[in-house]
Amino acid sequence: MKSFSVVIVCRDEADVIGTALESVAGLTDDVIVYDTGSVDGTIEKAGQFGVRLFQGPWEGYGKTKNRAIQLARYDWILSLDADEAADPTLRDALLACEPASDADAFDIRRRNYYGARYLRFGHWGRDHLVRFFNRQTLRWNADAVHEKLEYAPGTKIRRMPGFILHRSIRDLSDYSGKMVRYALLGAEKYYAQGRRAGWLRVCVSPCFAFFVNYFLKLGFLDGYAGYLTAKMTAWYTFLKYARLRELSAKS
Closest listed residue to residue 28, CA positions, set 109, 101, 97: 97
Query: What pTM was estimated for this model as a whole?
Result: 0.93
Question: Nearest-5° angle of CA 185, CA 188, CA 189?
Answer: 85
Return the SS3 of 2. Answer: coil
Q: pLDDT tens per residue, the chain (251 residues)? A: 669 999 999 999 999 999 999 999 999 999 999 999 999 999 999 999 999 999 999 999 999 999 999 999 999 999 999 999 999 999 999 999 999 999 999 999 999 999 999 999 999 999 999 999 999 999 999 887 888 999 989 999 999 999 999 998 989 999 999 999 999 999 999 999 999 999 999 999 999 999 999 999 999 999 999 999 999 999 999 999 999 999 999 87
What is the rounded CA–CA span in Å between residue 179 and residue 185?
Answer: 10
Pairing of strands 127-134, 104-114: antiparallel
- For 54, phi then psi, to 5°, come to -125, 155
Phi-psi region of 225 (alpha: psi -120 to 50; beta: other; left: phi over 0): alpha
**Domains defined along the chain, listed by start:** 4-169 (3.90.550.10), 172-250 (no CATH)
